[in-house]
Amino acid sequence: MKKYLKEILFLLISICGAFFISGLIILFSGEHPSEVFSIFIEGIFGSTEGILYTLFFSTPLIFTGLSVAFALKGGLFNIGAEGQLYIGSMAAAFVGFTLVNFPPVVLIPLTILVSIIGGGLWGSIAGFLKAKFGSHEVINTIMLNFIAISLVGYLSSGPFKNPGDQIPQTPLISESARIPEIHTIFPAFPETVPLNISFFIAIFSAIFAYVLLKYTKLGYEIRSVGFNPDASRLSGISLIKINLLTMFISGAFAGMVSINEVLGYRYRFLNNFSPGYGYFGIAVALLGKNHPLGVIASAIFFGAISRGGLLVDIHSDRISRDVIFVIQGIIILFVISRELMSVIAKRKKYTAL
């Protein structure tokens, strides 16, 4: 219990620190920090809309946070969620605008499955390279990001481009591939918010990851390899198999970003749609202490910052977008500083061996 209190205290202190420095930056930009902060806070908590928007923004982050956290449990640092989510999204969009005559009961599960497999396979390439040749997954996943981004860029501006559009994007997916927005289920919620049922799928995925890691044999083996690959190997666990599976599952979570972005929001693949969800996933996982359920909380926190930042952007003339990014960056740095330190320390110890 004491441990948790300490964690929360630390978090509060870092948030205060972040607000203090942000306050200074706002002051320099010529605005009143108190006003800006109240817009920020109100934007998040002030209305049902604000809260639902926060959840909407957090949905892709839950997926990418899970992706990074899961790989880390298996001892792998997945920087490649960005590429994996693009591949998964393109795969989902392709199925969605191609198989237009399928009924929803078939098409929705199918598109979700394709996005899982797409992201998963893209992730497992890095797992395979690591297990087979020992090439470092950080480098591999970064390289695979470049490849994935170029690939989907080519597809969305070439063969799969919606004819006649000015921007690189695919045609809309079939109506029967789209998942419902939240207000269709809870009519009391405002129609303006694009929050859709992918949020619940994200929560479910986190629970799934938790159960998988904690209660299954595969989870045991993944954690074992994550903690100590040598001892695991000697005990007869196949590192190739486990590295592959870990990266498949990790990539699959990243691929599932498409459920929100393609099936639930844009209804198509738009090139460069991700503002860096994959990279944010690293911070989300760190703040969530790599725990699948911690990832949910941490993703919602990051979602809130996005939402608040958006409102400040709309309401204030003097504070430019860039300043908001800087402030968001400062908040993130503050809250994850400790986790970052411990990860760096661990990796140092690891490479020193």
**Interface ranges with other proteins (CB under 8 A):** 215-221, 223-224, 227-228, 230-238, 353
Contacts 24+ apart (CB under 8 A), 211-220: 212/249, 213/70, 213/73, 213/292, 218/245
Q: Which is nearer to other proteins, 150 or 216 (CB)?
A: 216
Cα-trace Rg, the chain:
21
Closest distance of CB 235 from other proteins, Å: 3
By the 8 A CB rule, do 137 and 251 touch?
A: no
- The DSSP output letter for 270 is B
Quick one: tokens of 63? 């997926």
Closest approach, Cβ 69 to other proteins, in A, equals: 16
State the minimum distance, in angstroms, from the CB of residue 48 to other proteins.
40
Shortest reach from residue 220's CB to other proteins, in Å: 6
DSSP of 319-332: S-HHHHHHHHHHHH
Give the separation between CA 213 and CA 57, rounded to whole angstroms.
Answer: 26
Return the number of the residue (32 or 346) whose C-beta is nearest other proteins.
Answer: 346
Nearer to other proteins, 8 or 344 (CB): 344
Nearer to other proteins, 21 or 218 (CB): 218
d(CA 136, CA 279): 18
* Nearer CB in complex with other proteins: 159/217: 217
What is the 8-class DSSP label of residue 87? H
Rounded Cα distance, 54 and 40, in Å: 12
Which residue number, 159 or 236, has a Cβ lying nearer to other proteins?
Answer: 236
Identify any residues that bridge with 33 across adjacent strands, giving them in sequence order. none
Least Å distance, CB 292 to other proteins, is: 17
Least distance CB 160 / other proteins (angstroms)? 38
